[in-house]
Amino acid sequence: MSPPTSSTAAVIGGGPAGLFAAQTLAAAGVKVTVYERMPSPGRKFLLAGHGGLNITHSEDRAPFLGRYGPSADRIAPMLERFSPEDLRAWCESLGQPTFVGSSGRVFPQAFRATPLFRAWLAHLADAGVTIERRSAWSGWDADGRVLITDSSGRTRAVKSDITVFALGGASWPHLGADGSWVEPFRERGVEVTELRAANVGLRVAWSDVFAQRFAGAPLKNVSITVRGSGAPPRRGDAMLTRAGIEGGPIYASGATIRAALDAASAGDDACVLDIDLRPDVDAAELEKRLSRRRPKDSATTWLRRSVGLDPAGIGLLREAGTLPTEPAAMTALIKAVPVAVVDTMPIDRAISTAGGIAWSEVDEHLMVRRMPGTFVAGEMLDWEAPTGGYLLQASFSMGAWAADGALAWLGRDV
């Protein structure tokens, strides 16, 4: 069923989720206005472009979906509606073809977000989408109309047939998404799970000597297990920082680490990562190699020659305490160097946000159950995923899905 041609939509938030909802609504003939609080939309998307803009991933659908953990079932139909292949085709349609990197991650060939975003804004303008900049949503009036405050502080109520909220999470708040929507939604009875840092580095109380020497050094191809969690180990490259540690395997363990930190602050055991510095070599083989120590070898030479550890790996072993001299004890340490986590870095340094509007608050079309005609999309919802293109993919797919839901709602009203 198509919506009446005179239908209007207010899309609040000009990130990937909001703009893709706007595009989908406009393509169906709806008159769309996007309200964006910042002087320009898409600031986080553009920042993501500084790292190459990993826009989606090329892996098969089952592992792809697995990245969304407990939200996978909800997100699955959205990924069918606007799939990774659709996203790549869409980039190409905007003159920005993509390629698959060696890790399976997908990037625009330009390796930047700016050309794609510029082409997208032009496409939206052609489609009749109006973007009102410096226009912040600031709540609802007594009739349920959204309130928009402009940069001069003037607030007006906006009437539209449907509203799509895509206000993002709370990481990098100076880019626009700061989580200030949480309280107004809670006040309207909508359950919002606490926003927490996801895809974020960890704080570790390194010794000064270690932090000074190894901040910025990678730990290549390690396997990281959150002790006592039962969660599977995560493989990849981690990065030592002055304050702690970050990188793919840390981000992929994010939810497990948060749970372990919560348990620790409730009095349980501390949150400890066990880092396997040689995950490709089994313990028996490691011990065999370590037993070939020459009498004159220093510990560093022994570890470098026999098992190929680099200075950062050896430094990490030393950081764990006195170095063992027995091959068996050294093997055990290399296979599980303990690193006690103090905390995550703050949310404003996180790549994304966990938590958000509870899935139980939205119907299968992403319409807020207690606000008929109001839809939500993107990081505002309670889901998370590791880095790898999964965040942007889901944001786009949810934008399309929420817009479809809104169109169905408008059509139903005819």
Ligand X SMILES: Cc1cc2nc3c(=O)[nH]c(=O)nc-3n(C[C@H](O)[C@H](O)[C@H](O)COP(=O)(O)OP(=O)(O)OC[C@H]3O[C@@H](n4cnc5c(N)ncnc54)[C@H](O)[C@@H]3O)c2cc1C
Distance CA 68, CA 384 (A): 6
Of the pair 133, 305, the CB lying nearest ligand X is at 133
Distance CA 407, CA 413 (A): 10
Distance CA 169, CA 195 (A): 7
Of the pair 14, 247, the CB lying nearest ligand X is at 14
- Nearest approach, Cβ of 116 to ligand X (angstroms)? 12
Of the pair 149, 221, the CB lying nearest ligand X is at 149
Q: Contact 56/88 with Cβ under 8 angstroms? A: yes
Distance CA 117, CA 96 (A): 10
- Nearest approach, Cβ of 197 to ligand X (angstroms)? 11
Of the pair 17, 245, the CB lying nearest ligand X is at 17
Of the pair 141, 269, the CB lying nearest ligand X is at 141
Between the alpha carbon of residue 210 and those of residues 114, 153, 229, 248, 316, the distances in Å are: 38, 50, 27, 22, 8
- Nearest approach, Cβ of 80 to ligand X (angstroms)? 18
- Nearest approach, Cβ of 65 to ligand X (angstroms)? 15
- Nearest approach, Cβ of 27 to ligand X (angstroms)? 18
Beta strands 136-140 and 130-132, pairing class: unpaired
Of the pair 3, 168, the CB lying nearest ligand X is at 168
- Nearest approach, Cβ of 231 to ligand X (angstroms)? 22
Q: What are phi and psi of 305, to 5 degrees?
A: -70, -45
Q: Which residues bind ligand X (CB under 6 A)?
A: 12-18, 35-38, 41, 43-45, 47-48, 51, 53-54, 136-137, 166-168, 171-172, 176-177, 351-352, 378-379, 389-392, 395
CA atoms within 13 A on the CB side of 304: 9
